[in-house]
């Protein structure tokens, strides 16, 4: 029976790093669902048409990790028709054998509400801005403004707002090393698998 791990949280909280580590540790498939929205936003044109015709090549674009693609993703993710077009793909991915780890903003609440493990990974705004600035070689103050704008937009959207699932385990990585955050997540999954 497939095992699904849903990881949600804001940008630069560490959820992608934790998701990749869990997928590797448990030999599960991994999907960074934000890439789907980044690819739709980066394609430009009609976002609904882009979501309905997303291809593997779109997900392999080299510019999907840019700040611009992140902002575009947040804008197109607020469009109900875009979200609907991508839901079936994500749900099918989540039920692959032996298991899957999906990270995003609405995995535990909308995409996989029955996931066996739900984590909500967060960190302080300042820590997240510092991490993103280092990752992109950008100005930390600008990153702070952009992250706060994106968080507000993602949390306030009518469809699938970013919020922890009622039964999600909160993992605040503000003062944690990557190794400590991954270890905590691994232990959480081990307890459920046992």
| Binding-site residue ranges for ATP | 9-17
| Binding-site residue ranges | 9-17
Residues linked to residue 101 through DSSP beta bridges, in sequence order: 5, 30
Residue 30 Cα distances to 5, 14, 24, 145, angstroms: 9, 15, 9, 30
Residue 115 Cα distances to 14, 37, 86, 106, angstroms: 20, 21, 18, 12
DSSP 98: S
**φ/ψ (deg, to 5) at 3:** -120, 125
The total of other beta-carbon atoms located within 10 Å of residue 175's CB is: 9
Query: What are the structure tokens assigned to 112, written together?
Result: 């996989």
């Amino acid at each position: 029976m497939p095992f699904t791990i849903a990881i949600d949280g804001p940008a630069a909280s560490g959820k992608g790093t934790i998701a990749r580590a869990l997928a590797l540790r448990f030999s599960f498939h991994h999907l960074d669902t934000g890439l789907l929205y980044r690819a739709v936003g980066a394609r430009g044109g009609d976002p609904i048409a882009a979501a309905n015709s997303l291809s593997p090549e779109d997900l392999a674009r080299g510019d999907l990790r840019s700040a611009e693609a992140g902002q575009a993703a947040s804008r197109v993710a607020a469009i109900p028709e875009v979200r609907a077009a991508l839901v079936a793909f994500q749900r099918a991915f989540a039920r692959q054998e032996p298991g899957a780890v999906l990270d995003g903003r609405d995995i535990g609440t909308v995409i996989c509400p029955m996931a066996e493990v739900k984590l909500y990974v967060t960190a302080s705004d300042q820590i997240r801005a510092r991490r993103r600035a280092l990752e992109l070689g950008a100005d930390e103050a600008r990153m702070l403004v952009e992250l706060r704008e994106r968080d507000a937009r993602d949390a306030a959207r009518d469809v699938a707002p970013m919020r922890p699932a009622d039964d999600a385990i909160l993992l605040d990585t503000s003062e944690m090393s990557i190794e400590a955050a991954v270890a905590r997540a691994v232990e959480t999954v081990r307890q459920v698998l046992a």
